[in-house]
Amino acid sequence: MDQIMSESQQMTMERNVEEMYHNSLEWQSEVSLWKQEMKFFQKMLDTYTSNCLSVEQKQRLSHFQNLLIYYDGELLDQFKQQSRRHAKYLAHQLEENESFNLDEYQQKFGGLSSHLSAFATEYRRYKKDFFGLMEELIDQSVVKMNKTELTDSE
């Protein structure tokens, strides 16, 4: 009976390790997508900065630029590195078929999931606010172009 219980527990643990491993691969993919989006956001900032008219817009633009530098240059790289280590650790556990020490795992990687989740929430807010400002700047750019066209046609 003890052997059946032990085999059942081992199979459950292996499934959990495999699931955690796949989650870590998803995290790596998500971080790569975020980094790609950051490059696009930087291009938008570079393109529409000249359309900033008000002091308030310039302050918001500066805030977004600072966050972008922090996210892309530091935070996402940390997440990428941590999720790689996480995947490597779990792959090793699966390959070696060693007993899985849940306490050790939680000590090493326990907060990674919650940090990524918290960042995802913060990042959604960032994108919403960022796109709001970009919409304002694009609208201003269109108005400016229309005025220029009217002036040129006279």
Cβ(38)–Cβ(76) below 8 Å? yes
Q: What pLDDT score was predicted for residue 10?
A: 58
Q: What pLDDT score was predicted for residue 54?
A: 85
Q: Global pTM?
A: 0.77
d(CA 141, CA 138): 5
Q: What pLDDT score was predicted for residue 8?
A: 61
Cβ(60)–Cβ(87) below 8 Å? no
Per-residue pLDDT of the chain (154 residues; tens, 9 = 90+): 445 445 565 556 666 778 888 888 999 999 999 999 999 999 999 888 887 778 998 899 999 999 999 999 899 999 999 999 888 988 887 787 767 677 777 777 778 888 999 999 999 999 999 999 999 888 888 777 777 766 766 6
Q: What is the largest CA-CA distance in the chain?
A: 94
- The burial of 11, by beta-carbon neighbours within 10 Å (0-12 exposed, 13-18 middle, 19 or more buried), is given as exposed
Q: What pLDDT score was predicted for residue 5?
A: 43
d(CA 138, CA 150): 18
Residue carrying the six token digits 């972008």: 68
56-91 burial, b at 16+ Cβ within 10 Å, e below that, comes to: ebeebbeebeebbeebbeebbeebbebbeebbebbe
| Alpha helices in 49-154, H assignment, sequence order | 55-70, 76-96, 102-109, 112-153
Q: What pLDDT score was predicted for residue 118?
A: 94
Q: What pLDDT score was predicted for residue 12?
A: 61
